[in-house]
Structure 1
Amino acid sequence: MNKLLILVTFILLTMNSFAQLSEIPEKEIPEDYGYIVKIGQQLPDISMKLTDGSQVTGADLKGKVVMLQFTASWCSVCRKEMPHIESQIWQKHKNNKDFVLIGVDMDEPLEKVKKFKEDIKVTYPLALDPGAGIFYTFTAKGAGVTRNVIVDKSGKIVYMTRLYKEEEFKEMVDVIDYLLAN
């Protein structure tokens, strides 16, 4: 009887850990996160040049689930988070035509960004952000990097993170999975 109880408990706990979201969680973004955009707002019109020389515009992102990951080579928290983005998000969804992930590197030259990408061993695209113009479209002046913005297929911002917090990161992964499944 004890073995059966242990087995049932294990199964229930396991099922709970793989439970899918039934909706996007309502998230209050703390003021100290430094965002000037809000949940529910349309993605600002942005244009980015990727390290491979290609250009991505807001029009290219329409109809897709988008993750913008703001980063910089000098940022230790970014270096901690990026391998998790690579393994838990990019590798899972990179072949999904409805998903776009772009790391937006804050105000660093092309060669430095390419070396950073190689050093961190990420394969998702990185974009250049000269003068941090894209970054400051989303955040207040002086705000720090290590942040993610998730946009749904209608172009609406639905989730934002700051720094690397395991629970928040896991919830973001669940939000992306939910958006791609619905």
Structure 2
Amino acid sequence: MKHSKFVAALAFTLLLLVSTGIRAQEKEQDRGYIVEVGQMAPDFTVTTTDGKTFKLSDYRGKVVMIQFTASWCGVCRKEMPHIESEIWLPLKSKDFVLIGLDRDEPKDVVAAFAKKMSITYPLAPDPDSKVFCLYALKNAGVTRNVIVDRDGKIVFLTRLYDEKEFGAMKEVIFKLVQK
């Protein structure tokens, strides 16, 4: 009798753990991501608005923040000043790299957007959402950040601009940079 209760309790616990894991996976899918924390960040190469080539894998050994944005995105406009003042300016001279990828807009629009937003971190056009689609579903919303550790692994994913999530992301970035 005790054995069957133990087995039943164990089975229930396993079922709960599995369903929790499935819900966590579904939550990331609901957020539109096709990548997960713990996996290697898909490599990409883009050209910034000032004509420099940015290849993600060239920055192994540094902490990287990939910001997906667009000039037409109100939430992006809300988040960008926080990225500039709270992350980029304090960390730009450290082992930290930030690249903003502007979804589906031409170089001149992206450059004007950066100027209007007073952003000093590098921005690059992402024509046809090619890089975006390495990380998220094509029709998923644009406001998102991917934090990549020194080994090239994804360690944090955000969606939209939520102060609590943004604070948690900042904490992760600063801890990684200090290592």
8 A Cα contact 2:132 2:138, kept in partner: no
How far residue 59 of structure 1 moved from its aligned partner, in angstroms, is 2.8
8 A Cα contact 2:66 2:98, kept in partner: yes
Report % sequence identity.
55
Residue 69 of structure 1, aligned match among 59, 67, 70: 67
Compare the two structures and name the one with the higher helix fraction: 2
Determine the structure 1 residue equivalent to 2:106: 109
Q: CA RMSD in A?
A: 1.0
Which 4+ stretches in 1 moved above 6 angstroms?
none
Is 1:48 the counterpart of 2:46 in the alignment? Answer: yes
Aligned residue type for 2:31: Y
| TM-score scaled by length of structure 1 | 0.82
Determine the structure 1 residue equivalent to 2:7: none
Give runs of aligned pairs for residues 9-88 of structure 1, distance below 5 A: 28=24, 30=27, 31-88=29-86
Task: List gaps (5 residues or longer) in structure 2.
Answer: 1-23
Aligned partner of residue 101 in structure 1, secondary structure: strand
Q: Work out the number of aligned pairs and report it.
A: 154
Task: List gaps (5 residues or longer) in structure 1.
Answer: 1-27
Q: Measure, in 2, the Cα distance between the counterparts of 1:74 and 1:35.
A: 21
How far residue 58 of structure 1 moved from its aligned partner, in angstroms, is 2.7
Determine the structure 2 residue equivalent to 1:176: 173
State which drifts further: 157-166 or 119-128: 119-128
Is 1:149 the counterpart of 2:111 in the alignment? Answer: no
